[in-house]
Amino acid sequence: MIRKLLKGAVGPKDNDSRFLLDVHRRDLPGEDTMCRYDDSDEVDICIVGAGAGGSVLAQRLARAGWRVVIIEAGPFWHPDEDWVSDEAGSHDLYWTQKRIIGGADPIEMGKNNSGRGVGGSMVHYAGYCPRFHPSDFRTRTVDGVGADWPIDYEQVRPHYQNVERELPVAGQDWPWGFPHTYPFSPHPVSEAASVLWRGAIAQGIKMRVGPVGIVNGTFGNRPHCIYRGFCLQGCKVHAKASPYVTHLPDALAHQVEIRAACMAARVEIDEAGRAAGVTYIREGEHAERMQRARFVAVAGYSIETPRLLLNSTSQRFPAGLCNNEDQVGRYAMVQGATQSAGRFGAELRMYKAPPPEVSSEDFYETDPSRGFARGFSIQTVSPQPIGWAEHVLADGHWGRGLREYMRDYNHWTTVGVLNELLPHPDNRVTLAEETDPYGLPVARFDYTLGDNDKANMAYSAVVIKDLLHAAGAQDILTIQRFAHLVGGARMGTSPDNSVIDASQRAWAVPNLFVADGSVCPTQGSANPALTIMALASRLAERMISGAAMSGADR
């Protein structure tokens, strides 16, 4: 009751990011006065990657007095100049360096799932921030598929709560999984999303507004959302949450250095088998530099984290760091993300309001009558013109037919699913023969769907099609696609089934941690951002207390 009365008024403790932002400029405050550490100065921790995982870890540790350097491959953004209210113009937000994609079902990368730069992929994620369900942590036990995590939901729950306050997350009271409330009230729902919601009601599917990491009201110096719909192009308003606004301002105020435009080449190992620091190359230079550190945390996400480990070869680890058991890069996952668009008589103009609006987790858990294990979620989405054109092309239209559908853009609205696709050891990140401009081998990601995955995707495609019919859609176009990344350096119970332990500490190197989405053994049908942040928050708490290094959970 009290929490309801206080909606929007309760801020997070121990994170002043919202007050540190400048009202008149969008730059990350503190870049000019940022602490700078010398390469030879052994800092407490060197973190690779300034995204969802690395930023939260850095902010927490810095608050506890740790001296932190973040090595980030991409640019230090200046949003007023660098980010634009334009689809094609946002190309630089994505990891556009080459990756090779293979397997029977190759996964498109780039704008689809990979960010680059200070703030990471959350700079261009849509904003959906659902939690995982308790069942996600034990799918092997409950459903006989996937893997059990070495930790359970209860260990992450307090961190979900903290991070939801920090973003902050706006949404209705959440009835699914572990029922919970959100710190901010739900956003108004656009007509484009309402049409879909009416279809869901007709089908008996329960939907709820949110949960989105978008300010509804004001939050410190962060303004209210202006409903311009460019969430996926980087929020110039700073209403949408990303580490750039939620954790890095506070991190810089606590002596964190973000060393942007620096590509990590290797994690160095000393004679005792401990991580000694990170070797990196500054953009525009050829000489390697090495930042010394007491601890190293890799947070480059599911492609770059395995790639960095595999590129870090040594006498002790000839096949790549932590890879003597051949586990690095395995069990990398994506979610099925089929989208169907429906045509309606009225002009809906789906480009207004945030693309993420209303979602359902009615189909999240296993229902044996469906004929497959685990499930999917349903979420409204709103492609802009280029995304919509790809949607139309996928239905087989080009030339005059495509132009006809495109001219009809304002009459369409789009609903998507996120299928939980199961982890498989052969869905794996390895190194390709090709090298990048720094001479580092690029990553290759092979991906092949299993039978359960295909059954899940086929079933969910029918559900959203029926939803559109029930809403009164006059025509339906469908695109089959994939979204998100997790896994690739997963946590587990022993070195022969994982890369890291329950404390996210590498089995093979005592002072090396992994702090991004690649640690997840399963993925549920939830967008991964919130969970990546919550896991990094948990890791930080345990590193500060020393529990993560104690080996008590081995």
Partner 1 sequence: MATDRTGTPAARDLSRPHHLPNLRPGKEPPDKSWLPRQRKGTTPQMIGRYPDFDVLDSAGTWDEATSQVVMARLHLAGQFAFFAADEQATLRAFCDVTMAQDGEPRVPVAEMIDAKLATGKMDGYQYADMPDDRDTWHLVLAGLDEVAGSRYGRPGFAACDPQAREAIVGSLADAQLAGGSWEQVNVKRAWSVCMRMVLAAFYAHPWAWNEIGFGGPAYPRGYMRLGPLSTLEPFETRGATSEDPVRVAAELGE
Residues 439-458 that bind partner 1 (CB under 8 A): 444, 446
- State the DSSP H helix or E strand holding residue 477, giving kind and residue range, or none if neither: strand 476-479
Phi first, then psi: give them for residue 92, nearest 5 degrees: -70, -10
For the segment 189-218, give every residue that binds partner 1 (CB under 8 A).
Answer: 189-192, 194
Helix orientation angle between 191-202 and 451-471, rounded to the nearest 10 degrees: 100
| Residue 240 in contact with partner 1, rule: CB under 8 A | no
Would you say 91 or 316 has its CB closer to partner 1? 91
Residues in region 409-428 near partner 1 by CB under 8 A: 409-411
If binding is defined by CB under 8 A, does position 100 make contact with partner 1? yes
What's the rounded Cα separation, in Å, for the pair 307 and 317? Answer: 14
Q: Which of 22, 152, 288, 347 binds partner 1 (CB under 8 A)?
A: 347
Site track 141-170 with partner 1 (rule: CB under 8 A), x = hit: ------------------------------
Which residue is associated with the tokens 């890799």?
Answer: 298
Token digits of residue 84: 């634009």
- Residue 146 or 229: which CB sits closer to partner 1? 229
96 binds partner 1 (CB under 8 A): yes
Q: Among the candidate windows 51-59, 101-109, 245-253, 531-539, which touches partner 1 by CB under 8 A?
A: 101-109
Name the one range near partner 1 by CB under 8 A: 258-266, 277-285, 339-347, 532-540: 339-347
When binding is defined by CB under 8 A, the residue of 73, 353, 440, 529 that contacts partner 1 is: 353
Least Cβ distance, residue 349 to partner 1 (angstroms): 4
- 24 lines the binding site for partner 1 (CB under 8 A): no
**Residue 196 and residue 233 in contact, taking contact as beta carbons nearer than 8 Å:** no
Q: Residues 82, 148, 367, 466: which binds partner 1 (CB under 8 A)?
A: 82
Q: Considering the complex, state which of residue 140 and residue 343 has its C-beta at the smaller distance from partner 1.
A: 343
Distance CA 122, CA 436 (A): 24
Within residues 274-333, the interface with partner 1 by CB under 8 A covers none
# residues contacting partner 1 (CB under 8 A): 78
Judged by CB under 8 A, the chain residues 481 through 510 that form the site for partner 1 are: none
| CB nearer to partner 1: pick between 382 and 456 | 382
Applying CB under 8 A, the span of 32-40, 185-193, 209-217, 420-428 interacting with partner 1 comes to: 185-193
Which region among 147-155, 188-196, 454-462, 546-554 touches partner 1 (by CB under 8 A)? Answer: 188-196
CB 429 within 8 A of CB 307: yes
Token pair belonging to 51: 């995204």
CB of 398 to partner 1, least distance (A): 5
Residue in 157, 236, 289, 292 binding partner 1, rule: CB under 8 A: 236
Report whether 195 contacts 413 (CB < 8 A). Answer: yes
* Of residues 104-143, those binding partner 1 (CB under 8 A): 106, 108-111, 114
Kindly state whether residue 97 participates in binding partner 1, applying the rule CB under 8 A: yes
Between 411 and 538, CB nearer to partner 1? 411
Size of the chain in residues: 554
Determine the interface stretch with partner 1 among 54-62, 186-194, 359-367, 525-533 (rule: CB under 8 A). 186-194
Exposed e or buried b per residue across 331-345, where buried means at least 16 C-beta atoms within 10 angstroms of its C-beta? bbbbbbbbbbbbbbe
- Tell me the window of 53-61, 139-147, 351-359, 479-487 that interacts with partner 1 (CB under 8 A): 351-359
Minimum distance of partner 1 from residue 220's CB (angstroms): 19
| Helix, strand, coil abundance in the chain, percent, nearest 5 | 30, 20, 50
**Of 249-257, 305-313, 414-422, 474-482: span binding partner 1 (CB under 8 A):** 474-482
Q: Count CA within 13 A, CB hemisphere, residue 447.
A: 27
Contact 55, 62 (CB under 8 A): no
Distance between CA 244 and CA 31 in Å, rounded?
A: 12
CA 208 to each of CA 4, 193, 360, 447, 515: distance values in angstroms, whole numbers, following the listed order: 17, 11, 6, 32, 31
- Give the CA distances from residue 483 to residues 106, 316, 336, in Å, rounded to whole numbers and listed in that order: 12, 36, 6
The structure tokens listed for 36 are 């700078």
Q: What are phi and psi of 191, to 5 degrees?
A: -65, -35
Q: Which is nearer to partner 1, 149 or 388 (CB)?
A: 388
Least distance in angstroms from the C-beta of 235 to partner 1: 9
Q: Where do the H-state alpha helices sit in 412-492?
A: 451-471
Identity at 498, one-letter amino acid code: S
34 in Cβ contact with 252 (< 8 Å): yes
Is the sign of the CA dihedral 306, 243, 537, 54 positive or negative? positive
User: Which position among 77, 83, 280, 364 is part of the footprint of partner 1 (CB under 8 A)?
Assistant: 83
In the chain, the amino acid numbered 546 is G
Asked if 178 interacts with partner 1 (CB under 8 A), we say no
With binding defined as CB under 8 A, does residue 465 bind partner 1?
Answer: no
